[in-house]
Amino acid sequence: MNSIKSMATLAAAGVFLWACSPEVQQETPPEVNNPFFTTYNTPFEVPPFEQIKNEHFKPAIEEGIRRHAAEIEAIANAEEAPTFENTIAAMDTAGALLDKVTSVFYPLSSANTNDSIQAIAKEVAPLLSAHSDNIRLNPELFARVKAVWDKKDQLQLDEEQQMLLEDTYKSFVRSGANLSEADKEKLRGINEELSVLSLQFGQNVLDETNNYQLVIEKEEDLAGLPAGLVENAAAEAKEAGMEGKWIFTLHNPSVMPFLQYADNRELRKEIWNAYQMRGNNNNEFDNKEIIRKMANLRMERAQLLGYDTHADYVLEESMAKTPENVYKLLDQLWAPALQVAKQEAKDMQKMINASGENFELAPYDWRYYTEKIRKQRYDLNAEEIKPYFSLDAVKEGAFSVTNKLYGLTFEELKDIPKYHEDVTAYEVKEADGTHVGVLYMDFFPRESKRGGAWMTSYRSQQMEDGKRKAPVISIVGNFSKPTEGAPALLTFDEVSTFFHEFGHALHGLLSDVKYESLAGTNVPRDFVELPSQIMENWASEPEVMKMYGKHYKTGETIPDELIEKMKAAGTFNQGFATTEYLAASLLDLNYHTLEKPLTGEVKDFEEASMNKIGLIEEIIPRYRSTYFNHIFAGGYSSGYYSYIWSGVLDSDAYQAFKEKSLFDPELAKSFRENVLERGGTREPMEMYVDFRGREPDIQPLLEKRGLDKLGKTNIEGSN
């Protein structure tokens, strides 16, 4: 990893693409039983998870910091005149041990954490923040970087070298290299405090999620719930020593279908309130003060560095470039999305009234009545779809799509280290058998795993002695578990999530660049979702659905009639889905376009933000402030909009396949070579235009979401 990038920021994001250069030739430390101090003697040199113990992490991180600091000092104080190779390239390959241990520690802290790991994370966060600042604020090192930068036009660098030099120089400047010594010290303090606050925020959300249970004792209170959900709830209760009862939790595979199907409105209200009040209960897990501190510290840091706001600072290096461009896109979509959402709410209220009930539609009613209207309007029940979407079948479908597009094959690895019994692993190969990388998959919820779904890497792609060293990639999710009578059966939303994360995995696996700082997903935030979101398009194609849609009992292919129903309902409830997402994106921007400190209550700030855009009471933001992990415990501050920005790209890019064929070999080759393999070696819009032949059009996105009938609009400021 490029050593001037913020380790603390990456740690908070939970996505780590650290470099692994050859080990520094130093005397072996005394921790002889610590696997991080040895070469991994495992298949494909994956981490030896079974040998790694919690007590191994901190000593290895501390020694990694020491070694990395020594390498940086050697570069900064070298007698030779600064060159690209002895300064910029040397920094890119520095920090092998630190990369090695953090690329295991932080993914595990998200996917399989415990009290010990959480405690270690808090202890090392300030150490890593200080180490990162020591590099970025080193005047001798910056002088050498600037010397190379100043003569860049005479160096005859290739395109990838030019990008690495530009990224390195800009990162130093954006990290405070030009500040006075007093301001540098102030910046160090801000970075250290933010690193700790971000960790605490995420741990609070996880603890709050795990600490709630809805325990049902009466069978009649299960009315409306699918059999598989009830079976999982009974298993959850049995595991908790409450056999004969049913436990529902705030993990998505439990809470969301409960809200979707439970006839008992009071119980829907109870679990909904627990879900949307996470981090906001004035207890030891409360996140409101953390949010205020983080928003103010981010603003203070941005202004210290010469920017008006944190969003201005972040977006300078994005495709969007400015907050104004992001607001423009979101505002364009907000009006049609809200209009559709209001009509959806009216339809639900009409159904409520027609049933003889006398209450106003509330947020905890939305999913329940959405399902009823879907059934009424399209004769489609989400539960009748799930038997065709077993996890194994969907996985094979993703493998097949990838094989047809890129010729890749996937072979399960049985005898390979894993960090949990739920994990599976695959060797990914080219059509000719060449090794591409290793892919781990971890899909079921547990208390040791944070919510959501994500991709990360235990080793990102790199070059070693002129040869490509293959990546070790992982995708993690929280899908519905198997039951005693059935395998893991997915909703179509979960199918889309699988394909989404699989797209991220391909971006990491197929990377083929020289400098690891530019490898794989090391691209601007509003471009990184293009490879993931374009994969979702194949999941919904009838031709593809027939490849993986197999009934888990009979093996029957999903019938055309059911596919047609799904297609007819494809834009159903998109007003809600788009509105709740846009509301969260705008909330993110509002926190990070502050020019003066936030002094009031966080709940009042959120309420004012939503009132300003006219969000209806029946809908809340997809993530309320106190559990908005993406922006307060992840890498998406000022960047949650990126899903919709990338949505413009992926919808337009996929249109190219629709215009030719779903598996057109030339288009697939072009997308692989111009996007998936290139990492961050070129400007994103240049890579997109190389593939598409032009800049993107927003119209395919509007059509996909059913918003096109409300007026065509154009994307501006995209480059």
Residues annotated as part of the active site: 501
- Whether residue 51 contacts residue 168, with contact meaning beta carbons closer than 8 Å, is answered with no
List the structure tokens of 620. 């809340």
Distance, in Å, from the CA atom of 443 to the CA atom of 476, rounded to the nearest integer, reads: 6
Cα distances from 716 to residues 528, 608, 695, 707, in angstroms, run: 19, 28, 10, 18
Residue with tokens 């970025």: 136
- Whether residue 219 contacts residue 213, with contact meaning beta carbons closer than 8 Å, is answered with no
Q: How many residues does the chain have?
A: 719
Residue with tokens 């072979």: 411
Q: Dihedrals φ, ψ of 440, to 5°?
A: -95, 150
- Whether residue 453 contacts residue 495, with contact meaning beta carbons closer than 8 Å, is answered with no
Q: For the chain, how many helices (H) and strands (E)?
A: 28, 9
Buried b vs exposed e over 330-368: b needs ≥16 C-beta within 10 Å?
bebbbebbbebbbebbebbbeebeeeeeeeebebbbbbb
Distance, in Å, from the CA atom of 88 to the CA atom of 83, rounded to the nearest integer, reads: 8
Q: DSSP labels for 336-377?
A: HHHHHHHHHHHHHHHHHHHTT------HHHHHHHHHHHHHHH
Number of C-beta neighbours around residue 242 at 10 A = 15
Distance, in Å, from the CA atom of 606 to the CA atom of 611, rounded to the nearest integer, reads: 9
- Whether residue 688 contacts residue 653, with contact meaning beta carbons closer than 8 Å, is answered with yes
